[in-house]
Amino acid sequence: MKEISELVIPDDRRYAEDHEWVKVDGDAAVIGISDYAQDQLGDVVFVELPSVGAVFDKGAEFGTVESVKAVSELYMPIGGEVTAVNTELEDAPERVNADPYEGGWMIRVKAADPAEINALMDKAAYLEALKG
């Protein structure tokens, strides 16, 4: 397990209490799990993601991540419609561990309410939450 000081937490994302992140990319929001989450899970062996076109409310379960330790649910940090899914995770779920912020992204959504993104934690608030 990494120490908090060893975690990678990019400034260009917002974070949810359940350790999902959101990065705004044009009119889309890219979603994945944080370095802290992947570290806590251990080696990821399977990722189940929704279909393109699925619509979720903020807080709804949108998939699962299975590791050698446990199965964890993924929750929507914002509401919206899934516009893309990282299908590379089907054959290479370990990308979530190796690169949770780029190659390990999970879904892209069209946000139902872009203001929900601003309500998420920034890097400083997320670090405080991890320490708490």
- pLDDT tens for 70-96 read 999 999 999 999 999 999 999 999 999
Residue 128: CB partners within 8 Å, gap ≥ 6? none
CA distance 66 to 43: 9
What's the chain's average pLDDT? 97
Best CATH choice for the domain 4-113+120-131 from the list 3.40.1130.10, 2.102.10.10, 3.40.640.10, 2.40.50.100: 2.40.50.100
pLDDT at res. 32: 98
Q: Is residue 3's pLDDT more than 90?
A: yes
Mean pLDDT of 10-32: 96
The residue to which tokens 């949810």 are assigned: 16
pLDDT at res. 35: 98
Closest CA to 40 of 105, 89, 97: 97
Indicate the burial class of 70 (C-beta count within 10 angstroms; 0-12, 13-18, 19 or more).
exposed
φ, ψ at 117 (rounded to 5°): -65, -45
The residue to which tokens 């990678």 are assigned: 8
Q: Is residue 132's pLDDT more than 90?
A: no
Q: What is the pTM of this model?
A: 0.97
Which stretches of the chain are DSSP H helices? 35-41, 88-91, 95-98, 115-118, 123-131
> What residue type is 94 in one-letter code?
E
Mean pLDDT of 105-118: 96
Take residue 51 and report the two structure tokens written for it: 């279909």
Take residue 69 and report the two structure tokens written for it: 């330790």
Q: What is the distance, to the nearest Å, from the Cα of residue 91 to the centroid of all Cα atoms in its chain?
A: 18
pLDDT at res. 85: 98
